[in-house]
Structure 1
Amino acid sequence: MRYSTFISYNHKDRRWAQWIHRELERYRLPKALIGRSSPVGVLDRRLPPVFQDREELAASTNLASSVQEALRQSHTLIVICSSNGAKSKWVNEEVRQFAALGRRDRIQCLIVPEADPRGEPPPEVDILPPALLELGDEPLAADARKTGDGKRAAFLKLVAGIIDVRYDDLRQREHARRQRQLLMLATAASAGFIVMAGLTIFAFVSRADAVRQRDVARQQTLAAQRTTDFVKGLFQVSDPSEAKGRSITALEVLDRGAREIQGQLANEPDVKAELISTLSEVYTGLGSYRRADSLIRAALSLPVTRDETRARQIGVFAASQALQANYDAAVSNFNIALRKIEKPAELQDPSLYSRLLIGKAEALAALDRYDEALAASKTALKWDGEREGFNSENVARDFEAIGLTSQYARDLAASRTSYEKALAIRLAVNGRLHPIVSQDLNDVGTAAYLQRDTAAAERFWRSALAIDEQILGPNHPDLGNLLNNLGRVSLEQRKYAQAAALLTRSEQLYLSQRNDTHDDLAFVFSNLALAKDGLGATREAEDLFGRALRAAEVHNNRLIAPIMVDLADLRCRRHDFKTALSDLAKAAPLMKKQYPTDPWRMAWVGNTRGACLLAQGNPAGRALIRASSPLVLDRWKKDTDYGAKAEARLQNAI
């Protein structure tokens, strides 16, 4: 969501709205809260933007669309309660709309001072908008009146409600911060004395710095020792009969570690945070994405003191969000993590800087922000190349990210070149039997496929699948992408039963660790729908097309139009002509916009429309089929799925 809060008010209370807006925008959260998970995301120094201004609305029955969208994009609602607000139609409507979004528990009231014409404060029943009273539950309230909380305390109550912390905790941290500010002022007043005692202080500071460096070294040694002890402990079995002759899997070892670490290292939060980040990354590597996400989320509340440790934590969390296709949030959190690193060269682990850049780049590429993604990837490549030379694993990873972004941007030659550079490095450094080598084979295969080199693509993909099944096992979710790619090739060759088997397995692996609107599933569901349709299972195919369309629409995926066309084709063959022709009319402008360099795509829309009209008994369909078939058959041979369909329609149009 874009806004931390939406301020609802009557225009007569604009002064109070401007006050709370200004205070929220410039408020700096206490340092101890930064990096914590909250309803508005991982907390940074400042809150996300606040929505206040709205034009006076005309006398209509609905809120303006811009205001409705702002309400949807707001985590909380602050209602300025006064006699003016209680009479406002729009304040009432904003409260109702926000509650209808399922966020009634995120509504807060700010009661502001005013007096009625007799000089008496109005009764509270007259200052609450009726919509608030209709909700039943008493909303959270902050009273800015002198007889209530007062302005400052009321403001802190609102902040506490927005970020979901106890008001007393926030008030105490605010008090401590003010005490530090007073101390700084007192220190400044003593500047003359400090100058006079400069040499003495310098000696003490030098000694203190030496002590600090010693303590840092001790802390790092302690962290290393704690890590070693913890990892050794994971593999110890206190009772020899515990295993009972069976092998202990890596996931069982991790689960044991995740349970045990919760009660350990309470006085060493940085060490604990580093260990949990590592456990989360290992869970991810083993394909247990949900457990990885749960573990790192819980660890964000640890009172970490080192910026590098916090940056790593937030980066692991952002990577988990990207795996669940929550790319906007991932980019935001990668940016937060990068801001924690002021001097990358001074990091204990300098590669953290480039890892965060690449994570951000991959999320940006998924959002079609290609220029930003390439810039971040190239910054990482320069950083790693200068530090490690251009044949290191980190450099290979950077080339992989550049290849991915170039692929999304349809620069296929650059994509394949980057992937091949990465693959050469991986083979030299990691050897053939390594999961990352399989991933690079998959990526090179994808680039070859997009260049219409299908035979090469299938060779690369089958090599990758053989490695993955040997190294990761048959049930790792990373196999889902490869199985989808091979299923697509089988589908295009009209081997529908083989395609359906591969794609069903891909679907199951994706759904084991991801939700059903993940962007990759738009491809899996639509391919499986085509395979099922080829096997005559049209009802099942229609349901799969619907699921594919939902996943594509959630991410505004460019696959929306192709799915709509294939679904329309199925509906035409089932004589649902009205729905099918409506779908084709909607798909045509989307297809033209999303595939400007693929003329066969628009031709396929016209070809399918022609077939639908002809099936309906409209002879105008013949001309459409005759005009569009050459472009389709120029792209697809007659023995392929699309080619065979186009040829059959052409024969029918004669």
Structure 2
Amino acid sequence: MRFRAFLSYSHADAAWARWLLRRLETYRVPSRLVGAHAGNGTIDRRLGTFFRDREELPTAGDLGSTIREALADSATLIVICSPAAAQSRWVNAEVQAFQDSGRGDRVLCFVVDGEPGSADPARQCFPPALLQPAPDGNTREPLAADARREGDGRERAFLKLVAGLLGVGYDALAQREAQRRQRKWAVVTAASIAGMAIAMALAVTAWVARNDAQRRQAQAEDILGFMLGDLRKKLDTVGRLDLMRSVDDKATAYFATLDPRDLTDRALEEQARSLTGIGQVRLNEGKHDPAMAAFREAHARSTTLHQRAPDNGQRLFDLAQAEYWIGFVALEQGRYDESGVWFRKYRDSGIRLAAMDRANFDWQREVAYGHQTLAVLDERRGRYPEAERAVREELALYQVWTAQRPHDNALRFEATNVLSWLGTLSARQGKLADAEAFFSEQLAGMQRNVAAEPANAKWQDLRVNALYLLVEAQAQRGRRSEALTNILAATTSADTLARQDPANNLWQTPPAICRWWQAQLIAPSDSAAAVQIADEAAAILTRARAAEPENERVLRWLVMARNLQAQLALSTGDSRASRTHAAEALALLEPAWKKSPNEVLRLVLANNRIVAGEGAQAAGDVAAARADWRQAEQLLTADARDALPFERLDPLVRTLLLLDRATEAQPHQQRLTAAGYVPLRPFPAAGRIAAQ
């Protein structure tokens, strides 16, 4: 046959497939076995040619016929077994097709992960076709070479696989291998003693040096793959940005040592993925410009690779990731038009990627991610109905996927994130009961993830986020007691995470948000404690902004903290402190508002003008108070299309009542009441200025 063996594997095990293929193609059969007759025929010096489908299929015109022809033309089927392979319809179909040809006894298994025979579907490593009953009705677990550390180990498993390909016993092959090594060293020793000629010595030296260089390069690539893959995932789980930064620095240093002749496609792929990881670490540290530079470098390399092989799905996937991250940084910096350009590119790449392989679940999810990013952009721009329609379509996909994969924690998180967005969009539109229901469902999902993986800091962080989103929904419905209980629980977890990794700026903001809500909720009953807690929130956010000056979210919460300080100062009768805090907030906010006005900043600025006016009124400056409130009114009534957004109603009612225009405030107040809305602090009584 044309091929010695057909390698079948999941794309998740591509690194193992590349390693195994390289070893098989370069393996030399011990000379004493060459020419011998074994169970699979006469033994040649080389194992022969192997077919690795992911490597050769992109150039084929007919995907189905290529696979069938390769299977028919392969003497043996090698299945790289893992949980990913067991769940891959592609791998199972290849095994089934090979068995249907009547060669079920020529299937060799190479276990790299999972647990053979496990009752847990998530740990089973054999595809279902390998576990089908035999003609006698009994189900037999296939024999396999176990490359896991707790099994045979990689080298012993490889020799077992070779023994199966040759049709010889493992012990005989292992013995021949040992004898070959002994003879090799004997020849080298004899040659050294005899004093080999200079020309021969130079030739041998060059040969050894070449093999050593290839071996070292292979080792370096394997180590680099581990650093950028498994190690990064583990460090991300515990939130160790400092160690992740060290990993990235090591990878960057290695790339710098490469000669331009060494920049193979694989080297470029590793560079692109490394640069994407570097950008993510820099982004988590609050360094937007270095993050953007890394993402753009990754995009340049991914573009080059994609142009070389446009039918290679993995390269299109890497290109899409770079497009997403560039758009995300632009979003965080408030450059919405630029963000929209990159998010649309990302969505379109995801659609093309999903069409390339309908059986690849990871690629199908890219379509959902693409719609989500554009929904986020719509939400930032105040286009809530448009955003909600997109997110509901996304939720329908996740409801199907999570039912199919009930134990996939990462997938459950993504589904809860969709619920979170629906909760936010419902709140923005005044559907407060729906918002609380969505946030409660989101929290339940994250609680399940925390229970399943209590050591995973990422789930702890996302649980905190889910808690204070639920707190906001409960507070808006007047459920202060439940909201206070939840925010205290969130504060404990947020503080623990912040202490765990002070360099992770993403973990420094949640403790401040939790304190902001604490101060709001206890202010009516304990204003002194509320002032102290609000001061703590402002101090935390000031440090976070110093570390990440271009992050709009951090800026927004810092301004909100200053506004709260101004509001609480009024409750204690300190109008001077109130006006100072309001002025500090305005100084922070005005540059961002002028640079990139949006709905979120509009609300923060309007609330600032309201509290500034209240401070001026308390100080006896009625003219300044009216000017501030009129500015708030202009902000809240501008750019409204058919009806005012629900989230503008509370500050607008407050403003109109302060301006003694209760009649105009009444319809807006009725909308709030109909939605079940309860203000965090009571609306002012009308006629206050007139009375003065």
Length-normalised TM-score, structure 2: 0.51
Other structure's SS at 1:541 match:
helix
Amino acid at match of 1:487: W
How far apart, in 2, do the equivalents of 1:623 and 1:342 lie?
Answer: 56
Give how far 1:626 is off. Answer: 11
Amino acid at match of 1:358: Y
Match of 2:292 in 1: 293
How far apart, in 2, do the equivalents of 1:629 and 1:405 lie?
Answer: 24
1:478–1:463: structure 2 CA closer, same or farther, 3 Å change rule? same
Give how far 1:567 is off. Answer: 0.9
Match of 1:586 in 2: 634
Give how far 1:412 is off. Answer: 0.8
Equivalent of 2:473 in 445, 450, 454: 450
Other structure's SS at 2:506 match:
coil
Match of 2:134 in 1: none
Match of 1:276 in 2: 275
- Cα-to-partner distance string for 1:245-274 (whole Å, 9 max, x where unaligned): xx9844233233234335545113234323
Give how far 1:205 is off. Answer: 12
CA contact (8 A) 2:563 2:611 kept: no
Match of 1:646 in 2: 684
Amino acid at match of 2:656: G
Equivalent of 1:417 in 419, 440, 448: 440
Give how far 1:416 is off. Answer: 1.6
Match of 1:367 in 2: 378
Match of 1:398 in 2: 415
CA contact (8 A) 2:607 2:632 kept: yes
1:226–1:382: structure 2 CA closer, same or farther, 3 Å change rule? farther
Tell me whether 1:307 sits opposite 2:307 in the alignment: no
CA contact (8 A) 2:519 2:534 kept: yes
How far apart, in 1, do the equivalents of 2:351 and 2:66 lie?
Answer: 33
Alignment of 1:8-19 (within 5 A): none
Match of 1:545 in 2: 586
Give how far 1:556 is off. Answer: 2.2
Match of 1:564 in 2: 606
Match of 1:5 in 2: none
Equivalent of 1:430 in 450, 453, 462: 453
CA contact (8 A) 1:276 1:295 kept: yes
How far apart, in 2, do the equivalents of 1:628 and 1:384 lie?
Answer: 41
Match of 1:498 in 2: 533
Alignment of 1:199-218 (within 5 A): none
Give how far 1:583 is off. Answer: 1.0
Match of 1:256 in 2: 250
1:399–1:513: structure 2 CA closer, same or farther, 3 Å change rule? same
1:224–1:546: structure 2 CA closer, same or farther, 3 Å change rule? farther
Equivalent of 1:334 in 346, 352, 364: 346
How far apart, in 2, do the equivalents of 1:457 and 1:467 lie?
Answer: 16
Give how far 1:441 is off. Answer: 2.8
Other structure's SS at 1:300 match:
helix
Give how far 1:361 is off. Answer: 0.7
Tell me whether 1:487 sits opposite 2:516 in the alignment: yes
Give how far 1:532 is off. Answer: 4.3
How far apart, in 1, do the equivalents of 2:66 and 2:471 lie?
Answer: 66
Tell me whether 1:358 sits opposite 2:369 in the alignment: yes
Other structure's SS at 2:353 match:
coil
Alignment of 1:507-546 (within 5 A): 507-510=542-545, 512-513=547-548, 515=550, 518-519=552-553, 521-532=555-566, 534-535=568-569, 536=577, 538-545=579-586
Match of 1:230 in 2: 224
Give how far 1:419 is off. Answer: 0.8
Equivalent of 2:263 in 244, 266, 275: 266
Match of 2:657 in 1: 607
- Higher mean Cα deviation, 591-600 or 411-420? 591-600
- Cα-to-partner distance string for 1:170-218 (whole Å, 9 max, x where unaligned): xxxxxxxxxxxxxxxxxxxxxxxxxxxxxxxx9999579989xx9xx9x
Q: Which has the larger radius of gyration?
A: 2
Amino acid at match of 2:263: A
Give how far 1:558 is off. Answer: 4.6
Match of 1:382 in 2: 400
1:418–1:363: structure 2 CA closer, same or farther, 3 Å change rule? farther
How far apart, in 1, do the equivalents of 2:666 and 2:398 lie?
Answer: 51
CA contact (8 A) 1:402 1:415 kept: yes
1:274–1:522: structure 2 CA closer, same or farther, 3 Å change rule? closer
CA contact (8 A) 1:290 1:513 kept: no
1:629–1:402: structure 2 CA closer, same or farther, 3 Å change rule? closer
1:605–1:631: structure 2 CA closer, same or farther, 3 Å change rule? farther
How far apart, in 2, do the equivalents of 1:291 and 1:512 lie?
Answer: 13
Alignment of 1:113-124 (within 5 A): none
How far apart, in 1, do the equivalents of 2:567 and 2:372 lie?
Answer: 37
Give how far 1:298 is off. Answer: 0.7
CA contact (8 A) 1:330 1:360 kept: no
1:636–1:389: structure 2 CA closer, same or farther, 3 Å change rule? closer
Match of 2:327 in 1: 321
How far apart, in 2, do the equivalents of 1:323 and 1:253 lie?
Answer: 22
1:353–1:456: structure 2 CA closer, same or farther, 3 Å change rule? farther
- Cα-to-partner distance string for 1:69-114 (whole Å, 9 max, x where unaligned): xxxxxxxxxxxxxxxxxxxxxxxxxxxxxxxxxxxxxxxxxxxxxx
Amino acid at match of 2:222: T
How far apart, in 2, do the equivalents of 1:259 and 1:563 lie?
Answer: 46
How far apart, in 2, do the equivalents of 1:597 and 1:582 lie?
Answer: 18
- Cα-to-partner distance string for 1:255-301 (whole Å, 9 max, x where unaligned): 33234335545113234323433444455566655443321211222
How far apart, in 1, do the equivalents of 2:354 and 2:665 lie?
Answer: 61
Match of 2:186 in 1: none
Give how far 1:324 is off. Answer: 4.3
Identify the structure with bigger relative contact order (alpha carbons < 8 Å, sequence gap 6+): 2
CA contact (8 A) 2:416 2:445 kept: yes
Structure 2 runs not aligned, ≥5 long:
1-64, 81-111, 113-214, 230-240, 380-386, 428-433, 570-576
> Percentage identity across aligned positions?
7
Give how far 1:406 is off. Answer: 2.8
Other structure's SS at 1:418 match:
helix
How far apart, in 1, do the equivalents of 2:686 and 2:295 lie?
Answer: 55
Give how far 1:461 is off. Answer: 2.3
CA contact (8 A) 1:406 1:415 kept: yes
Larger helix proportion, structure 1 or 2?
A: 2
How far apart, in 2, do the equivalents of 1:227 and 1:399 lie?
Answer: 37
How far apart, in 1, do the equivalents of 2:608 and 2:630 lie?
Answer: 13
Give how far 1:356 is off. Answer: 5.8
CA contact (8 A) 1:258 1:279 kept: no
Alignment of 1:58-137 (within 5 A): none
Match of 1:96 in 2: none
- Cα-to-partner distance string for 1:344-370 (whole Å, 9 max, x where unaligned): 64677x324425623641441342322
Match of 2:22 in 1: none
Alignment of 1:29-68 (within 5 A): none
CA contact (8 A) 1:403 1:415 kept: yes
Give how far 1:582 is off. Answer: 3.4
